[in-house]
Structure 1
Amino acid sequence: MAEVWQWLSDHWVVVGTYTFLVIDVILRILGLILVPRNRRPGSALAWLLAIMVLPIVGFPLYLLLGKAELPRKRREKQKVINRLMHVRAHDIPDSELDADAPSWLQSAVNLNRELGAFPLTGNNDADLEIDYDTSIARMTADIRSAQHDVNVLFYIMARDQITEDFFDALGDAAHRGVTVRVLYDHLGSLMHGSTYRSMRRFLDSCGIEHYPMMPIKPFSDGAFQRPDLRNHRKLLIVDGQIGWMGSQNMIAAHYDKRSNIRRGLHWQETMARLRGPIVAEMNLLFATDWFYESAELLAEDELLQAPADTSGTYECQLVPSGPGYVFENNLALFNQLFYSAERRISAVSPYFVPDESMLAALVTAARRGVDVELFVSEIGDQFLVFHAQRSYYDVLLAAGVRIWLYQAPTILHAKHVTIDDSVTVIGSSNMDIRSFLLDMESSMMIGGTDFMAKMHQVEDVYRSRSRELTREEWEQRPVPMRLLDNLCRLASAVV
C-alpha cells in the first residue's frame, strides 16, 4: 500500500490529468443523456453549451438549477390541495359570458378550466389604482374595516416608513379579535435585511401567525429543491368581501435600497381592487399557499363567504400557475389571447423574455394587422433580464410592434394585457420564462366594457409617460451593446 501511495505521489500530475479527463468525459455524456429530457430545445441547448464548455462547473449548476420541479412532498401536497380546491370550487356558481362577448373568449375560459383555473364568475366589480403610496393607503383602510379575517400574501414584504401604517393596521385588527394570516416569499423578502427582520418582529409581537413561503431549506421536503423556485403572488383578502391583486409588493417604492434612492429609482405598479363572487376564488388560492406552509386546511365556510355586493357587471376568472401545475397556465392563456386578437393587443411587462411560442404569437398578430404595443422600462433593475429582453426588439419592430419605453428613473413593474375591447389579464405574472416555469403566479382574466375603459385609461397614462422606440434608433445602437444583448438572451434560456 505504501508503494501505491508513493507511486501516486511521484506521478500526481499524470494521475490528476487523466482523472480530470475521465470526469470531464463522464459529465459530458451524462449531460447529453439527462439534459434533453422533457425540456424546450432552446433551454436544452443552452444547458448543454454550459456543460460542454466547462463540465466541472456546468454540470453541478445543472443539478442545482436545471429541474423546474417542486420536491416530492410539495408535489404530494399540490395533488391533495388541487383535488380539494376543485371540489370546493364547485360551490362557486359558473357564470355565462355576455351575449356580445366574442366567441373566442369562451374558448379561453374553457382552456383555463382545463389547466386548473377556477370557475368564471359574474356580478363582480373592480377598480384600478396606479399610484404606489395610494394603493398601500387604500389596502390599509380596508384592513382597518375588517371584522372577521384578513389574509395577506406578498412576494416581498418589509416594514419601512411607507408600509408601517399597513402593518399597524394588521396589528390593530389582530388586537380586536380579527384573524390575521400573513405569507411572504422567503428569499424575496429576506433580501431586504433590516426591514424584513423588523416585519417579522412586529408580527410576532402582535401574535399574528405568519410563514415564509418556499423557505430555503434545500432537503426539507423529501428531495432537493432548487432555490429559485419562488412564490411571486400578491394577494390581500379582507372578510372574504374585498380582494386586492396585481404587481405591487408591500415595500417602499424604492425597495429600501440606497443605490435606488441615490439614483432616484422607484417602481410603478398597477393594482386591482375587486368585490363580488371572485373574492371567494382569491380566498381559495390563498388557502392553497397557506396549506403548503402551515399544513392547516382552512374551513370551507370561512373561505367561501357569500358576497355582500353582487351589483357588478364584470366576469372574472382566477388563473393560478407555477411549477406545481403540469402545464404553463399563464403562457397558454397569453398565447390563446394573442392568437385570438382581432384589432388590438396592449401588453405591459417589466421583464419581457418570451419563449418561441409567445414571440411567434405576437409577431403573427402584428403581421396579420393587429395593432400590437408593448410597454417596457427604458432602464432595467436586473442586468441579465434587461439585456435579454432587448434582444427581442429587432424582430418585434420589424413585424410592426410598437415598443413604448417608460422613461427613467421609473421602473415600470406593472403586469397586464388587454385584448381588443373584450378582456384584460392582470396579476403578478411577467412575460418571461421565469414566470412561466419557476414562479408561482396569479392572473385574473376580466371581461366587461366598463373595466376595459378603465384599463385603456391606465394605458393612456403609461403611454404619456413613455417614448416610442423607433426602428431607426434601434438600428443605430453600438455593436458591443448588440453582442451583450444577444449573449444575455442565450444565458436567459438556461432554466
Structure 2
Amino acid sequence: MIQEVAQALYWPWIILDVALRLLALAVVPYNRRPAAAIAWLLVIQLQPILGWIVFGMLGNNRLPRGRFAKMAAIRDLIAESTSDIDDAPARRDRPEWLPGVLELNRALSSMPHAGPADAIVWGEFDAQLEAMARRIDEAESFVHVEFYLIVASERTEPFFAALERAAARGVTVRVLVDHLTSVRYPRRKETVARLEAMGAELCDMLPLRPWRGQWQRPDLRNHRKLVVIDGSVGFTGSLNLVDPSYLMKKNIRRGLQWRDTWVELTGPPVRELDVLFWSDWWAESNELVEQSAAEPEPGGDLLASIVPSGPGFEGELNLRVFLELVHAAEERIIIVSPYFVPDDSMRYAITSAALRGVDVELFASEIGDQFWTHHAQRSYYEELLEAGVKITLFSPPTVLHSKFMVFDDQVSVIGSSNIDLRSFSLNFEVSMLVEGRGMVTQLDGIAEGYRRQSTTLTLEDWMARPRVAQLFDSIARLTSALQ
C-alpha cells in the first residue's frame, strides 16, 4: 500500500520540485541585488519547499499594500510640512563637495538643511538619561518618545520618573516602541503598565499580530531612536532606553555592557525630528498630531539635516547619502558601527577612499552579541586592512553600539543606522547630517576615548586567526546577502 502511494506521488512530486525551482528563477531576481538573488536561489535550489516558505516570510522587504500606500501619503505630508523651511545660508567654511549631498537628501526626503543649531554629545549612559530627564522637566506642551526598545528598570528610572512628572502637570506624553522587539525582552508588561499608569499614550510600531490582520515581513523593524520636547529640544543617536546589559541573562553572565552616543539638539532641525515622529505616529495610530506652532529658537553655529530611511522611502536613502559622503571626503573618515556588513557599493567606496590616500578608521567591537552578524562583519576585515583601512576594536566586555561618522573636519553623521544591509533595506532609521566643526570636535573626543580602550588590528594578526573562525566568517558572509 505504501509502495503504491509512493509510486502514485512520484511524478507529481518531481513536477512540483522542478516547477518550484524554475519559478524561483523568474521570481527571486526581480528588483533584487544580484548577490541577494543568488543567495536566495541557492537556498531554494537546495530545498525548494522549505526554501520557498522561508523566502515567503523573509524575502520581501515591501510593506503590506495598505501600509505602503500610507507611507506614500506620509512622504507627501513630510514634503508639505517642510516646504516652507528654506535651507540655511551656507557657512563660509562649507566644503565644496557638500552642497550636492544636501541636495540629494532634500530631493529624496524633503528634509531641509536647517540652522543655526547647537548640539551636545553625551557618551555615558547615566549622563544621557539625566540630560533627557532635565529637558523633560522643562516640558510645557508635549514629549514625543520613539525607541526601538523601551524597558523600565532601575537604570532607566530617571527617564520614566521625568515622564511621570511631566504627565502629572498636564504635558501630553506619546510613546512609540517597536512591537516585536519589545515583546522579546524582559519587563514588557511592567513597562506598559508604568506608561499606562502615568497616562502616556503608547503605540506599538510595526505590530506583528496576524490574528488581527497585522502582518508584514517579521524582521522589518522600526529602529529609530528619538525624543522631542515641545518642538524645541530633540535627542537622537544610537541609544535604546534599556539597562546597558539589556537585562538578558546571557549578557549579564558575560558581563556585557552596551555603550552608545546620544545627541541633545536645539534649534530649527528639531522640527524635522518632530515631523518624523508624528509621521510614524500617524502610520500606527491614524491620529494626525498637530505640530508645535512655536518655531525652535536658533542658536549655536551648526547646520543639520535629518536623513530618514526605511522601506517607506524609495532608493535606500541613507545608503545613498553615506556613499556620497565617503566618495567626497578628501582627508579623513571615521566610521563607528557595531554591525558593519556593507553592500558592494559601500565596500568599494570605503576601500577606494583608503587607496586614494584618505585616512579611514573603522571602530567596532572586539566581541559581538549576534553570532552570525559578528562573523559576517569579520569577513570584511582582510580586504579593509589590505586597502589601508585602520580597524580599531573596542575591548570586551563592552559592546560598542555607537553609530556615527566623521568626514574631514566639517561634516559628521550620527543616528540609529548601522553600515549594514539591514539598516539600508529593512529597518526604519533616522540619521542626522551635521555641518560644523563644533560637532566634529565633540565626536573626535568620543573617538579618542574609544581608542584608549581599544586595540588596533593588524593584517598579520588577522591572517593568523584560527581556521575555524575563518570558516564561520566565510559562511556568515554568504548568509548576510539574504535580504
Q: TM-score normalised by the shorter chain: which range applies?
A: over 0.9
* Paired residue type of 1:272: V
Matches within 5 A, 1:232-311: 232-300=223-291, 302=292, 305-308=294-297, 310-311=298-299
- Of 85-94 and 173-182, more deviation after overlay is shown by 85-94
Question: Displacement, 1:317?
Answer: 0.3
Answering whether residue 353 of structure 2 is matched by residue 361 of structure 1, we say no
Q: CA deviation at 1:38?
A: 0.5
Q: CA offsets per residue over residues 183-226 of structure 1, 9 Å max, x none?
A: 00001111113x1211101111122111110000348668x511
> Secondary structure in 2 aligned to 1:347?
strand
Quick one: which of 384, 388, 400 aligns to 1:412?
400
1:214 matched to 2:206: yes
Distance 1:30 1:354 in 2: 29
Question: Which whole-Å CA distance do the structure 1 matches of 2:466 and 2:220 have between them?
Answer: 35
Q: CA deviation at 1:239?
A: 1.1
> In 2, distance between residues paired with 1:97 and 1:415?
26
Match of 1:335 among 305, 323, 327: 323
Deviations 1:45-92 (A, max 9, x none): 000000011112111111111011111111111111111111110232
Map residues 314-333 of structure 1 onto 2, 5 A cutoff.
314-333=302-321
Letter paired with 2:284: E
Residue 103 of structure 1 aligns to a residue whose secondary structure is coil
1:374 paired to 2:362: yes
What letter corresponds to residue 223 of structure 2 in structure 1?
Answer: H
How far does the alpha carbon of each residue in 1:340-380 deviate from its partner, in whole angstroms, 9 at most, with x for none?
01000000000000000000000100000000010000000
- Does 1:19 find its partner at 2:12? yes
CA distance in 2, matches of 1:464, 1:158: 31
Q: Matched residues in 2 for 1:50 and 1:129: separation?
A: 44
1:345 and 2:336 matched: no
Equivalent residue for 1:3?
A: none
Contact 1:422 1:449 in 2 (8 A): yes
**CA positional deviation for 1:96:** 2.4
1:148 and 2:141 equivalent?
yes
AA aligned opposite 1:421: D
Note the aligned Cα RMSD (angstroms).
Answer: 1.4
Match of 2:43 among 50, 58, 74: 50
Tell me if the contact between 1:426 and 1:444 (Cα under 8 Å) persists in the aligned partners: yes
Contact 2:310 2:316 in 1 (8 A): yes
Residue matched to 1:82: 75
Mapped partners of 1:50, 1:175: distance in 2: 55
Query: Given the alignment of the two structures, is residue 182 of structure 1 paired with residue 182 of structure 2, yes or no?
Result: no
Give the match for residue 98 of structure 2.
105
- 1:141 is paired with a residue of what secondary structure? helix
1:417-450 deviation line (CA, Å, top 9, x unaligned):
0000020000000000000000000000001112
Aligned to 1:418, what secondary structure does the other structure show? Answer: strand
Alignment match of 1:62 (pick from 40, 55, 61): 55
Name the amino acid aligned to 2:294.
Q
Amino acid at match of 1:130: G
DSSP-derived class of the 1:408 partner? coil
Partner residue in 2 for 1:199? 191
Deviation at 1:248, TM superposition (A): 0.5
Q: Deviations over 1:301-358 (max 9, x none)?
A: x2x53123x2211010001000011110111111100100100000000000000000
Give, in angstroms, the shift of residue 135 of structure 1. Answer: 0.4
CA deviations over 1:369-427 (Å, ceiling 9, x no partner): 00001000000000110000000001100000000000000000000000000200000
SS of match in other structure, 2:97: helix
Aligned 8 A contact 1:89 1:118 in 2: yes
Give me the whole-angstrom Cα distance separating, in 2, the residues matched to 1:15 and 1:395.
Answer: 54
Q: Is the 8 A contact 2:178 2:205 kept in 1?
A: yes
Choose 425-434 or 87-96, whichever is displaced more.
87-96
Q: Is 2:479 the partner of 1:488?
A: no
Cα offset, 1:28, TM superposition: 0.6
Counterpart code for 1:271: W
SS of residue matched to 2:170: coil
User: How far has the Cα of 1:9 moved from its partner?
Assistant: 5.7
Cross-structure match for 1:5: none
The residue matched to 2:181 in structure 1 has which SS? helix
In structure 2, C-alpha distance between the alignment counterparts of 1:143 and 1:227, rounded to whole Å: 33
Alpha-carbon separation, structure 1, partners of 2:311 and 2:212 = 17
Count, aligned residues: 483
> Aligned partners of 2:459 and 2:100: how far apart in 1?
35
Return the letter of the residue paired with 2:40. W
SS for the counterpart of 1:414 is: coil
Q: Which residue of 2 aligns with 1:229?
A: 220
Matches within 5 A, 1:437-456: 437-456=425-444
Q: Which residue of 1 aligns with 2:113?
A: 120
Alignment counterpart, residue 133 of structure 1, candidates 105, 113, 126: 126
- Tell me the alpha carbon deviations over residues 227-286 of structure 1, each in whole angstroms, 9 at most, x when there is no partner: 111100000011111100000000000001112112110001000000001111111000
Give the Cα separation in 1 of the matches to 2:299 and 2:44.
58
How far the C-alpha of 1:458 sits from its partner, in A, is: 0.9
Aligned-residue offset at 1:120: 0.4
Secondary structure in 2 matching 1:362? helix
TM-score normalised over the length of structure 1: 0.95
